[in-house]
Amino acid sequence: MFALVIAGALLLSPADTVDRAPVVGPRDVPVGIGMTAREERAVDGLSLGFAPSPADTVRPRAKAVEISEGYETRLQIHKVASYATLPLFAAQYLAGVAIWDADHNLKARPQWATNAHRPLGYALGALFAVNSVTGAMNWWETRGHDKGRTWRTIHAALMLASDAGFAVAGNLGSQARFDYSRESAHRTWALTSMGVALASYVMMWEPLRRD
């Protein structure tokens, strides 16, 4: 009888008489309010001793560079003008050589070379003006694009140097009719500028370009 009384008292007493330490785990972390599912998974993983997965790691976004429709239009004009420059270079070179040889051999200048040399120079000047404007505008639009920026800048600088060289050559050519020293300087400036322009052109070919 005494044993039954003791057993009843034990059943009616509180289940725990000693405070238990709180269990630390995922359920003890306040989640759900103001947190995304990714953040909840990261917190749960840390509480269990796991490193966060790559998907839960915040990564900085790459800088976006927007290209306008005008960029593509200018690029196509730039390419067509560049292609048209090559045959004009060849024709101008042949005309210049014919005039140079005639003057230095004390012969009459070939009529075709005399008639073609100046108009070809004007045509080249127009094409270079078009390429300078379109190239400069596209370079400015992509100035924030890190990849290939140095390569594009070198290309632009070479073309501008060629522009300046042709301007000097044209000025000397207009005064070189009866002055061999000016004619020689005109030839040097023209051929050097042509070489610089061709180097700038070739560096943008698909196998070589770095942009």
Report residues of the chain scoring pLDDT below 70: 1-65, 178, 211
Range of the domain at 48: 18-59
What pLDDT does 28 receive?
45
Say yes or no: 38 and 91 in one domain.
no
Say yes or no: 154 and 105 in one domain.
yes
Instruction: Indicate whether 9 belongs to any domain.
Output: no
Instruction: Indicate whether 4 belongs to any domain.
Output: no
What pLDDT does 31 receive?
43
Say yes or no: 105 and 174 in one domain.
yes
What pLDDT does 175 receive?
77
Show the tokens assigned to 158: 């070479």
Q: What is the pTM of this model?
A: 0.65
Show the tokens assigned to 72: 């593509």
- Per-residue pLDDT of 169-190, as tens digits, reads 999 988 777 688 889 999 999 9
What pLDDT does 206 receive?
84
What pLDDT does 3 receive?
42
Count the domains in the chain.
2
DSSP class of residue 18? S
Say yes or no: 186 and 100 in one domain.
yes
Say yes or no: 85 and 43 in one domain.
no
Say yes or no: 50 and 74 in one domain.
no
